Amino acid sequence: MKIPKTNAMRILTQAKIVYELQTYEVDENDLSGTKVAAQIGMPVEQVYKTLVAHGEQTGYLVCLIPVDREIDLKKLAQVSANKRVELIPTKDLLTVTGYVRGGCSPFGMKKKFPTYIESASSMQNQLAVSAGVRGCQIVITPQALIDFTQASVVEVCGR
């Protein structure tokens, strides 16, 4: 399957960041990350979803967590210096980031937002995140992802 180069891919290539691409068949009825992980042959703890939230103090922020985990918004609020944080409505995702649900990449959003990544990421040798389009994942080292996005490594998943 030929995937056109996305903004995320262009930015990483331009920055000379090493990455690989994994493509998968998109199922519009099931955009779950666990299905994506199965299709690209990676464990769920290595496939990360990109969530976008809004804090009453800081505005928009990005959070990366394993696809099989849930975000703890209280923890995210605490680490991001907010009293309250809410995930943005799916209908606002394209306007805020330039990406659609199931294709939201932490690379190449319309603006640079504070980024937080679940601390479990550091235990992995590689992570997969959306390449900016449904049907394609970028596989990259956790350190390259953290460094490029200037992400804070924090615990934000619920138990």
Reference 46, options 135, 147, 98, 117; nearest CA is 117
CATH code of the domain containing 23:
3.90.960.10
The separation between CA 35 and the C-alpha centre of its own chain, rounded to angstroms, equals 16
Report the number of distinct structural domains present in the chain: 1
Tokens found for residue 33:
């990350």
- pTM of the predicted protein model: 0.93
Q: List the pLDDT tens digit at each of the 159 positions of the chain.
A: 567 889 999 999 999 999 999 999 988 888 789 899 999 999 999 999 999 999 999 999 999 999 999 999 999 999 999 999 999 999 999 999 999 999 999 999 999 999 999 999 999 999 999 999 999 999 999 999 999 999 999 999 986
How far apart CA 114 and CA 61 sit, in angstroms, is 5
Q: Is residue 98 part of a domain?
A: yes
Tokens found for residue 83:
């009293």
Q: Is residue 1 part of a domain?
A: no
Q: Is residue 123 part of a domain?
A: yes
Q: What is the pLDDT of residue 147?
A: 96
> Please, are residues 71 and 86 in contact by the beta-carbon 8 Å criterion?
no
Residue 108, domain extent:
7-154
Q: Is residue 100 part of a domain?
A: yes
Enclosing H/E stretch for 21: strand 20-23
Q: Is residue 2 part of a domain?
A: no
Tokens found for residue 6:
């996305």
> Please, are residues 53 and 76 in contact by the beta-carbon 8 Å criterion?
yes
